[in-house]
Amino acid sequence: MDIQTKIGVAGAGTMGTGIAQVASSAGHEVIVFDNSRDALDRSATGLRKTMNRLVEKGKLSEQDAKSLLGRIRHVTGADAFRECGMVIEAIVENLDAKRSLFNEVEKQVDDTCVLATNTSSLSIASVGGRCRLPGRLLGVHFFNPAPLLPLVEVVPGLDSEQGLAEKVRDIVKTWGKVPVIARDTPGFIVNRIARPFYGEALRVYEEGIAGFAEIDAAMKTLGGFRMGPFELMDLIGNDVNYQVTASVWEQMFYDPRYRPSITQQRLFEAGRLGRKAGRGYYAYADGKPVDGVPAEPGPHGEEVYLRILCMLINEAADALYLGIAGKDDIELAMTKGVNYPKGLLHWADELGAREVYESLCRLREDYREDRYRPSLLLKRMAADNGRFFT
């Protein structure tokens, strides 16, 4: 697949529009399909505004902006995909809707066209299970906003052709992205490993150990995270974050490590979705929190920080042990996908595997919950004073 390949994007929402911009920036002709004319119009308008801002800031010439927009075509018929070498789906996170879409796309494209789903939490095997040629389908998960965030998770499904993931990874790399390959497991790399950043923070709050602002301050001040967990959940949207957590929990057969929080469920039910709703864990005015997060983490800051960090490291170690991804891809995913200040496996080496393991053992002993069970890999490394990196 080269620069002459036409790229199809199904879905003209924020993600689909962002993916179209990325592909066009790399020189591809792009066809954006959506059943909704209004969605297509919003997509086209949004792209023009984005290009105008980039020109005003001097990041793009007027000619380059014009050329980029000229390579993108918005259509209401999937038959326009007939000349595409790759079609990326970016519609609603619903299995039946995705399956239906790919059934329609397969009627239009030839047998060599690569099909990709941008799902963040659904099984690639399930999405491709009803395809006529499931071997040509895989996951290509961009992070929002797609033009700005570099990480892309490339996820082969059970039936994906041998070598397809590597082929698509190389294509995505030419688009200026940082691709990593992950196994088709719930949450892939980022949405699996990052769950304790939210879930354990909520658990600490529910136990009354610290408030939202104190927990956020601990993770920012002591851990160096750009945003605290509650700030980040408000930015992502409590509807999105809660639904991803629930999806991972269900797909992991209700493993207590991934259990959703009643606190977040209630906020979701009350419509307190975060910045976009004007209220979440914090209140917002003009998109900014009314009361900022304090600089000081509070009296339990160190305890909070280490508890959440050890849970994150445990997830990263388990992902490596279970072959979800290689250690380098795990580190790239967490630093490039969610902007962690350092890779969790490198962080484990700094703290020491034994220290992390013993912290988890203490939590498990205190709570008697499988939520805090240490990864077998971490246990073995603690016994041998092992390191993830030399």
The residues annotated as belonging to the active site are 120, 141, 153, 191
* Burial state string for 53-86 with b = 16 or more CB within 10 A and e = fewer than 16: ebbeeeebeeeebeebeebbebeeebebbeebbb
Q: Where are the alpha helices (DSSP H) in 89-189?
A: 95-108, 124-128, 164-174
**Which tokens hold the place of 90?**
């970016």
Cα 43 to Cα 16, 29, 143, 234, 354, distances in angstroms? 9, 16, 18, 24, 51
Residue type, 305: Y
- 2 Cβ contact partners less than 8 Å away, ≥ 6 residues apart: none
- 369 Cβ contact partners less than 8 Å away, ≥ 6 residues apart: 256
Cα 261 to Cα 198, 243, 251, 253, 349, distances in angstroms? 9, 11, 16, 16, 30
Q: At what angle do helices 353-367 and 344-351 cross, to 10 degrees?
A: 90
Q: Tell me if 332 sits within 8 A of 151, measured CB to CB.
A: yes
CA-wise closest residue to 229 among 238, 262, 315: 238
Phi and psi dihedrals of 140, rounded to 5? -135, 90
Residue 151, CA atoms < 13 Å, CB-side half-sphere? 24
User: Which residue is associated with the tokens 């005003």?
Assistant: 56
